[in-house]
Chain A
Amino acid sequence: MDVLYFAWVRERIGSPRDVIETPPATVMDLVEELRGKEARYAAAFADLDALRVAVDQELTDFNASLGGAREVAFFPPMTGG
């Protein structure tokens, strides 16, 4: 499963993408796994209110299941237009 990062989340982590071999059950489980990796991940995921998540390119919430998911993306609130 691909995990993508955009905007300041990408900058804070220092990489646009990770590949996770065994996807955890939910987005929150994935967040916990990433937080445990390194300090830069813990910093990026410190405040979940400042983050949004998409699973397979659809906006969702942190309780969403990752069953069958191919791609998860984390990013700040969007600023289009």
Chain B
Amino acid sequence: MDIRVQQAAFDLGGEASHFAANQQGQGAIVTFAGIVRDLGQGDLHAMEIEHYPGMTDKALTSIAEEAMKRWALGDVLIIHRFGHLAPQELIMMVATSSKHRKDAFEAAEFLMDYLKSRAPFWKREVTNKGAEWVAARDEDETALSRWGTAKKDPAG
């Protein structure tokens, strides 16, 4: 498992290649990357991502460990950035490997669903109108419920 929380940009292709080159015995690699989305009106200047340094690594590690338990995975990589990001910049990526593609695909979706609402990051969009915290979406919470025994949001 490789979990990285960092301010610096990362090279998606380089990370994916490096991950794929170390998966002896596996047959499938799935990667997902998230980028800063401009809302379409072209008025997004930046996205600022705050995190909870002590908790972030722990939360990501426990999410990755849960994925390793549920699916037959070779390995998991998670990179998540914080700080000031420009539109179209890479925010994060996950990569999973498995013998057959189903495990790698499902585990990558699981990781993303959990990252969205259980990893302590908070996004703020800076637009022409000022800066605003991004609200969590109900759909993100619903997405978690499909993983069955998923831990419920304790406060929600």
Decide whether A and B are members of one complex: yes
CB pair B118 A78 closer than 8 Å: yes
Does B121 make an interface contact (CB < 8 A)? yes
Which residue of chain A has its CB nearest to the CB of B154?
A61
Which residue of chain B has its CB nearest to the CB of A77?
B136
Residues of chain B contacted by A8 (CB below 8 angstroms): 133
**Interface size band for A:** 20 to 34
Binary A-proximity of B69-88 (CB < 8 A = 1, otherwise 0): 00000000000100000000
CB pair A80 B115 closer than 8 Å: yes
Which residue of chain A has its CB nearest to the CB of B151?
A59
Binary A-proximity of B101-136 (CB < 8 A = 1, otherwise 0): 000000000001001111111111000000001111
Closest Cβ of chain A to B109, distance in Å, is 11
CB pair A73 B154 closer than 8 Å: no
Q: How many residues of B contact A (CB 8 A)?
A: 29
Q: Which of B80, B92, B116 has the most CB of A within 10 A?
A: B116
CB pair B134 A79 closer than 8 Å: yes
A-B contact pairs, 21 of them (CB 8 A): A6-B50, A6-B52, A7-B122, A8-B133, A52-B154, A52-B155, A57-B58, A60-B155, A62-B155, A73-B52, A73-B55, A75-B52, A77-B135, A77-B136, A77-B153, A78-B118, A78-B120, A78-B121, A79-B116, A80-B118, A81-B119
Residues of A participating in the B interface, judged by any CB pair closer than 8 Å: 4, 6-8, 48-49, 51-54, 57-62, 71, 73, 75-81
Supply 18 further A-B pairs (C-beta < 8 A) apart from A49-B155, A52-B156. Answer: A7-B122, A8-B133, A49-B156, A57-B58, A57-B59, A58-B55, A60-B155, A61-B154, A75-B122, A76-B122, A76-B133, A77-B117, A77-B136, A78-B121, A79-B135, A81-B91, A81-B92, A81-B116
